[in-house]
Amino acid sequence: MIGITVLGATGSIGVSTLDVISRHRDRFKAVALTANSDVDTLFMQCQLHRPEFAVMAQPEAARDLEQRLANDGLPTKVLSGRSALEEVAQLPQCDTVMAAIVGAAGLNPTLAAARAGKRILLANKEALVMSGKLFMDTVHQYNAELLPIDSEHNAIFQCMPQNIDGSLEDRGIRRILLTASGGPFLNMPLNKMANVTPEQAIAHPNWSMGRKISVDSATMMNKGLEVIEAHWLFNAAEEQIDVVIHPQSVVHSMVEYVDGSLLAQLGQPDMRTPIAYALSWPDRMPSGVERLDLFKLGSLEFLAPDMARFPCLKLAFEALKAGGTAPAILNAANEIAVRSFLDNKLKFNEIYQLIHSSLEVIEAGPADSLEAIFDADSKARRHAEHFIGQRPMRQAVQ
């Protein structure tokens, strides 16, 4: 039996992970499930999966969950707080950790899993974007295994010789092509984009995902974060990573070889495919995903990204080039910008302005310690809050 800890069990990736696991109860067992504050969902998941531990990051939520489990006679032990997230990522009975917390909050527990030498299924791209080299060094130092869950990186992994280390040149690879749907605003007139609402932004045309990544897809910051993620995962230089708009989200990414071959992975836009692949790697197992019917699809399109429409993508390339703590600054500013946009405190086009300003104002330094990375993260968050406070009065963004 493979023991699994799911960090962020109640989110979109967490729910898909538990769906895949429930199809293979003879092979996988949930050891620990964690969430921030969603007691209802975690309680239901505890009833279904009977993990040894459940963690709520928020202490009041933990008390509530504990009560409900006790009333139901369930033996799951409830822990709370951030240190408990790290604890359950390191349990000896846990072999695999699904890192599916959203944002910087996932960095410490994911690093804890790496230090315990676990197999890490990485959905939480922000953790890797923030800490890049330090993250990869920790994985290598403690002999942890890192398998990408992000559909693009999982696709690239599937199209590569089965070894994630080494240079692309050594493996005969010329470049990596990350596909992007273009999100809900791919064809919207530019002058209308400033005033789009959170509801419009989170209505992704192909994927059903958490709110933050849905907004990131609409600005294409998601693709920017993925460029940085690909840089670290595959040891790819910035010039070796191209972004291709592919509105159908069927080709999940591609690898171009020096002989002219272009390998692609295709599938339904359903995260259970990459999750099942990473869970069973190097084997394959059913995921519950519907088969892809090429005849129904008809045709596929590929377009160059428009940096004027999606300036956040350009910022991410710039942060990658700047290096050091610049990606941590980019990520933290983006987290505040997206939250403020969702709370109607920032307009859609101001997401870019805020991140741009953060990268201009805050000086990036070496990202050689966790302290340096979290220091850059806090400075960017403070600057972002200040930026929002200083804007011309707009109590209610319509």
Report the interface residues with Mg ion, using CB under 5 A: 150-152
- Number of helices followed by number of strands (H, E) in the chain: 16, 11
Q: Are the C-beta atoms of residues 286 and 306 closer than 8 Å to each other?
A: no
Amino acid at 258: V
How many CB atoms neighbour CB 295 within 10 A? 5
Residues across the chain: 398
Part of the chain binding ligand NAD (CB under 6 A), chosen from 2-10, 138-146, 348-356, 366-374: 2-10
Nearer to ligand NAD, 35 or 193 (CB): 35
Residue 254 in the binding site for ligand NAD (CB under 6 A): no
Q: What are phi and psi of 285, to 5 degrees?
A: -150, 160
Nearer to ligand NAD, 120 or 171 (CB): 120
Nearer to ligand NAD, 18 or 144 (CB): 18
What lies within 8 Å, CB to CB, of 84 at 6+ separation is 34, 55
Rounded least distance, CB 250 to ligand NAD, Å? 15
CA distances from 185 to 48, 219, 348 (A): 38, 8, 11
Considering only residues 20, 21, 89, 101, which one is a binding residue for ligand NAD as defined by CB under 6 A? Answer: 101
Closest CA to 14 of 4, 23, 1, 24: 4
Selection from ligand NAD, Mg ion, none that 57 binds (CB < 5 to 8 A by kind) is: ligand NAD
Selection from Mg ion, ligand NAD, none that 207 binds (CB < 5 to 8 A by kind) is: ligand NAD
Part of the chain binding ligand NAD (CB under 6 A), chosen from 23-31, 123-131, 291-299, 378-386: 123-131
Nearer to Mg ion, 46 or 255 (CB): 255
CA distance 196 to 185: 9
Nearer to ligand NAD, 3 or 14 (CB): 14
Nearer to ligand NAD, 125 or 345 (CB): 125
Structure tokens, 365: 């330094």
Structure tokens, 236: 């790819």
Nearer to ligand NAD, 199 or 259 (CB): 199
Residue 207 in the binding site for ligand NAD (CB under 6 A): yes
Size of the site for ligand NAD (CB under 6 A): 26
Considering only residues 61, 159, 186, 213, which one is a binding residue for ligand NAD as defined by CB under 6 A? Answer: 213
Selection from ligand NAD, Mg ion, none that 66 binds (CB < 5 to 8 A by kind) is: none
Nearer to ligand NAD, 40 or 363 (CB): 40
CA distances from 164 to 114, 116, 120, 148, 171 (A): 16, 20, 14, 10, 10
Rounded least distance, CB 149 to Mg ion, Å? 9
Considering only residues 3, 4, 5, 8, which one is a binding residue for ligand NAD as defined by CB under 6 A? Answer: 8
- For 28-52, b where at least 16 C-beta lie within 10 A, e where not — what string? bbbbbbbbbebbeebbebbeebebb
CA distances from 334 to 151, 292, 339 (A): 21, 34, 8
**262, β-bridge pairs:** 256
Site for ligand NAD in 44-83 (CB under 6 A): 57
282 preceded by a cis bond (ω within 30 of 0)? yes
Residue 88 in the binding site for ligand NAD (CB under 6 A): no
Q: Are the C-beta atoms of residues 61 and 39 closer than 8 Å to each other?
A: yes
Site for ligand NAD in 173-192 (CB under 6 A): none
CA angle 28, 33, 35 (to 5 degrees): 150
Rounded least distance, CB 58 to ligand NAD, Å? 8
User: Which 3 state secondary structure label does DSSP give 331?
Assistant: helix
What residue ranges bind ligand NAD (CB under 6 A)? 8-14, 35-36, 38, 57, 100-102, 105, 123-126, 150, 207, 209-210, 212-213, 271
